[in-house]
Amino acid sequence: MESNKSSRRRFLAQTAAVAGVAAGAGLAAKSQPASAQPHVFTEPPRRGARYSIDHMTHYTPLQDYQGIITPARLHFMQQHSSEYPEINIDEHRLTIHGLVDRPMSFSVDDLKRMPSVSRVHFVECHGNSSPARHDPDNENQVGLPVQYIHGMASNSEWSGVPFSVLLNEAGLKKEGTWLVLEGADAGKFSHTLPTAKALDDCFVAYGQNGDPLRIEQGYPIRAIVPGWEGPHNVKYLRHIKVVDEAYNTWNESMNHSVVRPDLGDKARWYHFAWGPKSVITRPSGGMEMRKGYVQITGLAWSGAGKVAKVDVSVDGGKTWKEAKIDGAVHSKAHTRFNLDWAWNGEEAVIMSRTTDETGDVQPSVA
Amino acid sequence: MESNKSSRRRFLAQTAAVAGVAAGAGLAAKSQPASAQPHVFTEPPRRGARYSIDHMTHYTPLQDYQGIITPARLHFMQQHSSEYPEINIDEHRLTIHGLVDRPMSFSVDDLKRMPSVSRVHFVECHGNSSPARHDPDNENQVGLPVQYIHGMASNSEWSGVPFSVLLNEAGLKKEGTWLVLEGADAGKFSHTLPTAKALDDCFVAYGQNGDPLRIEQGYPIRAIVPGWEGPHNVKYLRHIKVVDEAYNTWNESMNHSVVRPDLGDKARWYHFAWGPKSVITRPSGGMEMRKGYVQITGLAWSGAGKVAKVDVSVDGGKTWKEAKIDGAVHSKAHTRFNLDWAWNGEEAVIMSRTTDETGDVQPSVA
């Protein structure tokens, strides 16, 4: 408000040993709307020898919006290839083969005529929030907006056909306990998926936020594997091969299932599913702060189900307050939380901590 | 699926005396994705002498997506002017004056620093689904996709600041029972709103589906008045004048409140709030039908709260089946429903009927 003009200061904060810290200071405040900003292309991150071809990467500007829907064109993108495949939607086919009674081939039009589901889910790159990206001793990281630390996680309403419907059409054999998903991109990006997870809640998506998929999100179709690490959500999906053991595909580094029959419905696959997590999206690095009222806001999620509560600390973790949940809480989806804060103008370290419906609490990075 | 190719037929249906009828036949099936289709501009509808300047209108292509989120650029638009206002977001101000202790003026940046809410709500033009648009005797209407009959209703996640926060800042006087909202467009589009409704659940929105508002949706800010007829949701919002009686503004034809103290929290304003409603979005006019499995899908909503259930008839209303609700049910928001149907290839009249959480049932047009 007008009367607060004289007390504007720049936000100062240091990163700390918990995910969900607001990194602050440095960059100038932005006045243009988010939509006026171009896509952010950064140098392709190198991860040693695991990938032999370049990546293309977008980070989602989490600090620039309220609510939980990431606009489709701002959804993070990690492309395991230096260019997009050119796919004709009228010719593209999804085949299901291997351990099935009736190998099948579906056009995209076929898929759109089958029973559909629409669900709000996050997708998160398995390299998101890597410790190197919020190392308090790394001067290159201080002052970066949250986008560049935690921005490889996004959240959309996805529409498509359940794997359960597709596998039922093809006649899944009992011994078909694993699926190998393969994309139509040049690198034939592939990933294995336990059949049990596929039947539980996975689907082949053709829509995102009411639009067809964008090319960088796997147009015309991709897998959505709710709550599991990004690489499971194979884009440009072309083949589903039903097999009887986990394949160690080129693109994945782990292939060990953690069967938890003791947990029943709540079974988790620790090597695959994301645990509870949260990030403060505002205040964020570069934001101009004003003394007095500040709304702390962020996003929380869990790969195990719904967010149950989010606690926020403004004193580096000494004391915590429960944040307000704003809007709907979807399972395996971003959940918006807010906390009203009276800022006294002093340096502060803001942190958040999520508890999910299974009782799991977001761990400290330390 | 491949094996069904031989039984393709065109969908035939006639409109009938209930809203939510799938209008069929006529246009060729479309194979391009929705995003490849341009905005639809139609001739400005004329509504007699109430408006002295032209309209611009977009209809939402409801038949082209699953889920509940309308992409912001496909949100319906009814502009009471022949051009968009040019507004500089850094100079735009929202003033609150009249019956308040402290008249206030807020920049958009001020608003973004205040407590925010994000909610999924429909907005619907008060002229949507007009009887002339689904008159079974009007040959011009037969075969039109649902877009051109019911497409002036859309649904988004809106983010902004509650009216309750703004009015509290300004110090609402007890006698300030009505608000006059005025936009910054050339025609100064204005509408009155009971203060009680504003305090209940209305907010000043600056975001839609994670993006800033688009120019045709009121950039930089607009009112969101959940569940009430479209004209209440004043775009380009510039002034909120607090008054002690209903004003008969130039843009509105009704100004009579229906006070229902007997209904307590559940009070409805029958002249303002939309009742329960639904539309079948697929099958829709122009869609190529195949004998056998057909997923009937549509959207249901109510201005009084949440959708409780949706019934669907495939025999013109003789018998009804309860549809499956797909995904989240938000209050005063589009809700997706589906029904599996085995189509025998005969002519059929599909209808839907919504019941909301207050027990209200969608009436027949007859």
Question: Are residues A209 and B68, on separate chains, in Cβ contact within 8 Å?
Answer: no
Question: Are residues A90 and B338, on separate chains, in Cβ contact within 8 Å?
Answer: no
Question: Are residues B210 and A69, on separate chains, in Cβ contact within 8 Å?
Answer: yes
Spatial neighbors of B188 by CB under 8 A, at least 6 apart, are B182
Where is average pLDDT lowest: A176-180, A237-241, B15-19, B135-139? B15-19
Distances (CA, A) of B263 to A9, B277, B308: 48, 21, 19
Question: Are residues A295 and B114, on separate chains, in Cβ contact within 8 Å?
Answer: yes
How confident is residue A43, by pLDDT bands cut at 50, 70 and 90?
Answer: very low
**Cα A110–Cα A111–Cα A116 angle in degrees, nearest 5:** 135
pLDDT average, residue stretch A44-64: 58
Spatial neighbors of A338 by CB under 8 A, at least 6 apart, are A295, A296, A297, A323, A324, A326, B115, B116
Please report the pLDDT score of residue B328 as a whole number: 96
B65 at interface of A, judged by CB pairs closer than 8 A: yes
A246 burial via Cβ count (<10 Å: 0-12, 13-18, 19+):
middle
A3 at interface of B, judged by CB pairs closer than 8 A: no
- Distance separating alpha carbons of residues A351 and A146, to the nearest angstrom: 13
Question: Are residues B210 and A106, on separate chains, in Cβ contact within 8 Å?
Answer: no
pLDDT digits (tens, 9 = 90+) for A263-316: 554 434 445 888 899 999 999 887 888 899 999 999 999 999 999 999 999 999
- B206 neighbors B213 (Cβ within 8 angstroms): yes
Q: How many CB pairs under 8 A join A and B?
A: 136
Q: Which residues of chain B have pLDDT under 70?
A: 1-55, 130-143, 248-271, 364-366
Please report the pLDDT score of residue B252 as a whole number: 53
Nearest-CA distance from B204 to chain A in Å? Answer: 13
Write out chain A residues lying below 8 Å of B293, CB-based.
113-114
Question: Are residues B159 and A66, on separate chains, in Cβ contact within 8 Å?
Answer: yes
Question: Are residues A212 and B66, on separate chains, in Cβ contact within 8 Å?
Answer: no
Please report the pLDDT score of residue A122 as a whole number: 96
Residue A40 has pLDDT above 50, yes or no: no
Nearest-CA distance from A176 to chain B in Å? Answer: 23
In the block, tokens 């560049």 appear at A148
Percent of chain A with pLDDT over 70: 73
Using only the alpha carbons of chain B, give its radius of gyration: 21
A104 at interface of B, judged by CB pairs closer than 8 A: yes
A211 at interface of B, judged by CB pairs closer than 8 A: yes
Task: Report the greatest alpha carbon distance in chain A.
Answer: 73
Encoded tokens for A278: 């949260």
Greater model confidence, A129 or A45: A129
- Distance separating alpha carbons of residues A274 and A229, to the nearest angstrom: 6
Write out chain B residues lying below 8 Å of A93, CB-based.
none
Question: Are residues B338 and A70, on separate chains, in Cβ contact within 8 Å?
Answer: no
B246 at interface of A, judged by CB pairs closer than 8 A: no
- Distance separating alpha carbons of residues B320 and B314, to the nearest angstrom: 8
Dihedral sign for Cα atoms in the order A308, A314, A318, A320 = negative
Chain A residues 135-164 with CB within 8 Å of chain B: 157-159
pLDDT average, residue stretch A192-198: 95
Write out chain A residues lying below 8 Å of B287, CB-based.
none
In the block, tokens 């090319």 appear at A215
Residue A12 has pLDDT above 70, yes or no: no
- Distance separating alpha carbons of residues A226 and A333, to the nearest angstrom: 8
Please report the pLDDT score of residue A129 as a whole number: 79
Whether the complex's predicted ipTM is more than 0.95 is answered with no
Encoded tokens for B20: 């939510």
Question: Are residues B66 and A31, on separate chains, in Cβ contact within 8 Å?
Answer: no
Mean pLDDT of chain A: 79
The whole-angstrom distance between residue A75's C-alpha and the CA centroid of its chain comes to 9
How confident is residue A251, by pLDDT bands cut at 50, 70 and 90?
Answer: low
Please report the pLDDT score of residue A142 as a whole number: 55
Nearest partner of A323 among A364, A358, A282, A291, judged by Cα: A282
The total number of residues written for chain A in this structure: 366
A165 at interface of B, judged by CB pairs closer than 8 A: no
Write out chain B residues lying below 8 Å of A159, CB-based.
65-67
The secondary structure of chain A in percent helix, strand, coil, rounded to multiples of 5, reads: 15, 35, 50
Greater model confidence, A366 or A230: A230
**Cα B179–Cα B181–Cα B185 angle in degrees, nearest 5:** 170
- A241 neighbors A97 (Cβ within 8 angstroms): yes
Please report the pLDDT score of residue B285 as a whole number: 81
Distances (CA, A) of B302 to B66, B68, B146, B229, B278: 19, 14, 19, 11, 9
Where is average pLDDT lowest: A40-49, A106-115, A350-359, B146-155? A40-49
Task: Give the chain B residue whose CA is nearest to the CA of A36.
Answer: B212
A207 at interface of B, judged by CB pairs closer than 8 A: yes
Write out chain B residues lying below 8 Å of A66, CB-based.
116, 118, 159, 207
Residue A261 has pLDDT above 70, yes or no: no
Write out chain A residues lying below 8 Å of B31, CB-based.
89-90, 109
Encoded tokens for B117: 């809410």
Domains and CATH numbers, chain A: 73-127+152-262 (3.90.420.10)
Nearest-CA distance from B217 to chain A in Å? Answer: 14
Dihedral sign for Cα atoms in the order B249, B255, B261, B263 = negative
Mutation pick from A39, A74, A157 vs chain B, by most beta carbons of B within 10 Å, is A157
Residue A255 has pLDDT above 50, yes or no: no
The whole-angstrom distance between residue B324's C-alpha and the CA centroid of its chain comes to 22
Please report the pLDDT score of residue B25 as a whole number: 28
- A130 neighbors A57 (Cβ within 8 angstroms): no
Residue A49 has pLDDT above 90, yes or no: no
Amino acid at A337: F
Distances (CA, A) of A13 to A23, A284, B365: 6, 9, 60
Residue A37 has pLDDT above 50, yes or no: no
Nearest partner of A78 among A321, A251, A275, judged by Cα: A251
